[in-house]
Chains A and B, each alone.
Chain A
Amino acid sequence: MRFSFFLREALGSIRRNWVMTMAAVITVFISTAILGAVLVTDRNLDRGATSLKNRVTIEVFIKDEAGPEGQQALEQKIAAMPEVKSFTYISKDDALERFKERYGDRIVDNLPINPLPASFEIQVNDADQVEVVAQRFFDDPNVDNDKGTTNGVQYAQATVRKMLGTINLVEKVMWVVTGVFGVAAVMLISTTVRLSIFARRREIEIMRLVGATNWFIRWPFVLEGFMTGLVGAVLAALAVWGSNWTIFNWIKSTDLDYLSIEIYPLWLQAGTWPLGMLFTLALLGAVLGSVGSIFAMRRYLRV
Chain B
Amino acid sequence: MKGPQVSIVVSDLTMRFPVYGVDAKSLKKSLAVVTVGGRLGSSLTGATEVTALSKVNIKLKAGDRLGLIGHNGSGKTTLLRALSGAYEPDEGQIEIHGQIASLLDLNLGIDASATGYDNIRLRGRIAGLSAREIEDKLEEIGDFTGLGPFLAMPLKTYSAGMQARLAFAVATAVDADVLLMDEWIAVGDAQFQKIAHKRLLSLMERAGILVLASHDIDLIRLYCNKVMVMKGGVASAVTSVKNLDDLLADA
A binds B: no
Q: Which residues on B are within 8 Å of A, measured CB to CB? A: none
